[in-house]
Amino acid sequence: MGRYVARRLLQGLLTLFLVMVLLHLLTTAAIQLNGNPALAFFGDRVPTAAQLQAVSERYGLGDACYNQLGNPCVGPFLDRLAAYATGDFGTDLRGREVTEIVAVAAPNTLRLFAVVGLTWLVVGMTLGSLAARYRGRAADHGIRAGSILVDAFPVFVMLLVYKFVVTVPMSTWARDTFGAESLPALLFRPSFSPDHPWATVLVPGVLLGLAGSAAFIRLVRAAQLENYNAEHVRTARSKGLGERHVTLFHIVRNSSIPVVTAIGFVFAEALAGAVVTEGLMNVYGMGGVLWSAVRDSDVSVVVGIVTLLAVVTVVVMIVVDLLYAALDPRIRFD
């Protein structure tokens, strides 16, 4: 067990390193192709070479390699690794510490994730189990058709429709009826408000969770169906155990194995969804920050946040693997 965890951690570190290399090469190439973001600082004015160099230095892009297309810029990469090792994650273009930005943005993202995760799990497990229980009947067909419909409807379209069609009349009506600070009015606010971080993140979170749960419903259904007719379930029934006991101990328990594995990729999907959601709903979160950082070519922020997200993802994957082994005794470490 210990050896397995150590090996997975080492693998995780390697993955992380590769992510950072790739990220570095991509951002470097982007700068080399699009031109130095420091130029944007001067707008229409043409800076002198010294001025440009000064601003570039401030942006951490002073190295000459950024002007040579194809140069992998190994030097700046090593500098960044060394800085990260000492806990220095750099600043954004306005001189704000990346760590400080994350400290403000991360809690909002975590809130969104909590809502998404909960929706995803509750909706997915409930509807998936129901569909499996009533396989082939109206409830099953309805749930499956619904989930495919949601799947076919991109998250950002759903959010756009929500934001521009639903929120304005709903929040106006709620504000007039219950008052500006009432819960219904906050729930349907078209954009995030840092003063009410939970209420304003709830509806977008539920929508994102619904989108994620569509595929999950079908996974839960398939996993449970496989067990409904499994021979070990028949054995359990032959022992005279009640149907509720059989469902809980032999169907839901056994189908939890593939379901847990799904947490890994649904998490990755939710991360991607969060970038879009935060961008659209103006949530000041990791996704929103990343969104604007990419737009502004803010290299330090992009690299810092993507690295952090990679760390979180790697950790989630390791936890899922451990959980998987804990749930299925046939999986053995080493």
Question: Which residues are at the interface with other proteins (CB under 8 A)?
Answer: 229-232, 234-243, 245, 249-250, 253-254, 257, 327-330
Using the minimum distance from each CB to other proteins, give the nearer residue, 7 or 253: 253
Q: How far is the CB of 257 from other proteins (least distance, A)?
A: 8
3-state secondary structure of 81: helix
Residue keyed to tokens 């994650």: 89
Using the minimum distance from each CB to other proteins, give the nearer residue, 44 or 231: 231
Cβ atoms of 92 and 301 closer than 8 Å? yes
Judged on CB neighbours under 10 Å (0-12, 13-18, 19+), 74 is exposed
Cβ atoms of 102 and 110 closer than 8 Å? no
Q: How far is the CB of 258 from other proteins (least distance, A)?
A: 12
Cβ atoms of 257 and 328 closer than 8 Å? yes
Cβ atoms of 124 and 213 closer than 8 Å? yes
Q: How far is the CB of 233 from other proteins (least distance, A)?
A: 8
Q: How far is the CB of 245 from other proteins (least distance, A)?
A: 6
Residue 306's CB is within 10 A of a number of other CB atoms, namely 20
Using the minimum distance from each CB to other proteins, give the nearer residue, 80 or 221: 221
Using the minimum distance from each CB to other proteins, give the nearer residue, 249 or 333: 249
Q: How far is the CB of 321 from other proteins (least distance, A)?
A: 17
Cβ atoms of 260 and 324 closer than 8 Å? yes
For the CA atoms of 124, 125, 126, 132, what is the dihedral angle to 10 degrees? 100
How far apart CA 157 and CA 226 sit, in angstroms, is: 34
Using the minimum distance from each CB to other proteins, give the nearer residue, 26 or 248: 248
Q: How far is the CB of 229 from other proteins (least distance, A)?
A: 7
Using the minimum distance from each CB to other proteins, give the nearer residue, 79 or 243: 243
